[in-house]
């Protein structure tokens, strides 16, 4: 009695939750945000300084309208916050002509009239002599580049707080339940009440939504920052693009140029190792180093120098690698966004806007059918081959 009821509670203030809190607070809603760790921490899915951002989306042309809106919102956030949040370095999608990375990007580029260039093996080799191209080709997209997740999260949180959001860190939610006029959330032995709940718990989402039985699988993935062996300048942001490179039998190799003097960031997309988000496999080990060195040796030997830093980060995979976004089927006062399958960060700005719409109006003008919560039960989702995931046609 007498306890304050917020309009919306946001459970998890990582990539998606920080954005949702911002959009809600900006629209005048009273927001309470609950986060188990600190702002822009390194225990979930949104750390490591940079993420690839691109528009010619190999995972499917339906993502393109969302990514266009995401770019608009990122640029807006950059202006409002006065902080550099992304850098468009150009991007290469490399592989055999028919692989999902090259072919999928081309389908999206053509369907949405996105500026792009197709590079033959010879042209790719000429422009990027440090790559061992072989017979691979590439789609080059000038508007691809890098986005800085920690800076974005801090900008979203800072602006949310300035619009009145109450953000509680070091606060782990133990349980939530629907009540007549909203939800009750138990965190640190206290009860928080709100009319709506937005659940953006990343790799921890599965157990908080146990009754939905969503097939969400946290996967451990490692990122390395490499010191080039020679020609360090050739890998700087003005000259070297972001890239994703398909492989016929191994996980794709991706990388980002040296953006702030920290080294060239590389990783293998989808390691295939399932992990408990509260478990201990947070350090890198010898097998991780062997895998990345083998890939670099085969494809970009000039990058196979000293390892300057590394970190472990989690994907939360769905069987078809598409996101899960929508209203809880049994409790419409709850909106959720999870299962970003290792490619979600670039969308965080628009996902926050979508979640705010779902919480306030119960709907969104954006097309989110392909992210439907019920698609797994219905057997509509088609599995992607682990480690070689891509759009299933």
| Interface residues toward ligand FAD, by CB under 6 A | 11-17, 34-37, 44-46, 51-52, 172-173, 200-202, 204, 221, 223, 267, 313-315, 340, 342-346
Residue with Cβ nearer ligand FAD (97 or 387): 387
**Which residues are CB-contacts of 236 (< 8 A; sequence separation ≥ 6)?**
257, 258
Residue with Cβ nearer ligand FAD (124 or 147): 147
Q: Minimum distance between the CB of residue 41 and ligand FAD, rounded to whole angstroms?
A: 6
* Strand arrangement of the beta sheet that strand 51-53 belongs to: 51-53, 145-147, 86-87
Q: Minimum distance between the CB of residue 309 and ligand FAD, rounded to whole angstroms?
A: 13
Q: Which helix (H) or strand (E) holds 148?
A: none
**Which residues are CB-contacts of 63 (< 8 A; sequence separation ≥ 6)?**
57, 108, 347
Q: Minimum distance between the CB of residue 187 and ligand FAD, rounded to whole angstroms?
A: 7
Q: What is the CA radius of gyration of the chain?
A: 21
Residue with Cβ nearer ligand FAD (182 or 342): 342
- The tokens describing 201, both together, are 């718990």
Residue with Cβ nearer ligand FAD (65 or 129): 65
Q: Is 231 exposed, middle or buried (0-12, 13-18, 19+ CB in 10 A)?
A: exposed
Q: What angle do CA 371, 376, 377 make, to 5 degrees?
A: 130
Residue with Cβ nearer ligand FAD (68 or 121): 68
- The tokens describing 137, both together, are 């080709």
Q: How far is residue 199 CA from its own chain's centroid?
A: 16
Q: Minimum distance between the CB of residue 370 and ligand FAD, rounded to whole angstroms?
A: 16
Residue with Cβ nearer ligand FAD (44 or 326): 44
Could you tell me if 222 and 272 are in contact, meaning their C-beta atoms sit under 8 angstroms apart?
no
Residue with Cβ nearer ligand FAD (123 or 144): 144
- Phi then psi for residue 136, to 5 deg, are -70, 155
Nearest residue to ligand FAD by CB is 14
Q: Minimum distance between the CB of residue 153 and ligand FAD, rounded to whole angstroms?
A: 7
- The tokens describing 295, both together, are 């890939």
Could you tell me if 277 and 208 are in contact, meaning their C-beta atoms sit under 8 angstroms apart?
no
Please tell me whether residue 312 adopts helix, strand or coil conformation.
strand
The CA-atom distances, in angstroms, between 100 and each of 93, 158, 212, 269 are: 10, 38, 31, 14
- Tell me which residue has tokens 């202006």: 79
Residue with Cβ nearer ligand FAD (134 or 170): 170
Residue with Cβ nearer ligand FAD (314 or 335): 314
């Amino acid at each position: 009695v007498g306890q304050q009821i917020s309009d919306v509670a946001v459970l998890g203030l990582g990539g998606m939750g920080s954005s949702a809190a911002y959009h809600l607070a900006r629209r005048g809603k009273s927001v309470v945000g609950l986060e188990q760790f600190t702002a822009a921490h390194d225990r979930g899915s949104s750390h490591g300084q940079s993420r690839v951002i691109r528009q010619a989306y190999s995972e499917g042309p339906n993502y393109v309208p969302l990514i266009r809106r995401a770019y608009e919102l990122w640029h807006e956030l950059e202006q409002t916050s006065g902080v550099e949040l992304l850098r468009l370095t150009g991007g290469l999608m490399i592989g055999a002509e028919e692989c999902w990375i090259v072919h999928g990007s081309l389908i999206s580029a053509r369907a949405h009239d996105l500026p792009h260039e197709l590079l033959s093996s010879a042209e790719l080799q000429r422009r990027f002599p440090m790559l061992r191209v072989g017979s691979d080709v590439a789609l080059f997209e000038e508007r691809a580049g890098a986005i800085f997740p920690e800076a974005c999260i801090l900008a979203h949180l800072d602006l949310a707080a300035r619009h009145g959001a109450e953000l509680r860190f070091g606060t782990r939610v133990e349980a939530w339940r629907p009540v007549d006029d909203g939800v009750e959330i138990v965190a640190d032995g206290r009860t928080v009440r709100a009319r709506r709940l937005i659940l953006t718990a990343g790799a921890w989402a599965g157990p908080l939504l146990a009754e939905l039985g969503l097939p969400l699988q946290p996967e451990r993935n490692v990122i390395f920052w490499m010191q080039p062996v020679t020609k360090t300048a050739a890998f700087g942001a003005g000259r070297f693009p972001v890239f994703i490179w398909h492989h016929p039998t191994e996980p794709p190799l991706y990388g980002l140029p040296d953006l702030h003097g920290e080294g060239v960031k590389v990783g293998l997309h989808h390691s295939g190792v399932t992990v408990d988000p509260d478990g201990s496999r947070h350090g890198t080990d010898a097998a991780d180093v062997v895998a990345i060195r083998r890939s670099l040796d085969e494809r970009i030997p000039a990058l196979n120098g000293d390892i300057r830093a590394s970190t472990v980060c989690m994907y939360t995979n769905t069987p078809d690698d598409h996101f899960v976004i929508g209203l809880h089927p049994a409790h419409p006062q709850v909106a959720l966004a999870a299962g970003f399958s290792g490619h979600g960060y670039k969308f965080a700005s628009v996902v926050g806007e979508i979640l705010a719409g779902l919480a306030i109006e119960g709907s969104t003008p954006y097309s989110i059918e392909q992210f439907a919560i019920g698609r797994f039960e219905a057997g509509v989702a088609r599995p992607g081959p682990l480690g070689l995931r891509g759009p299933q046609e």
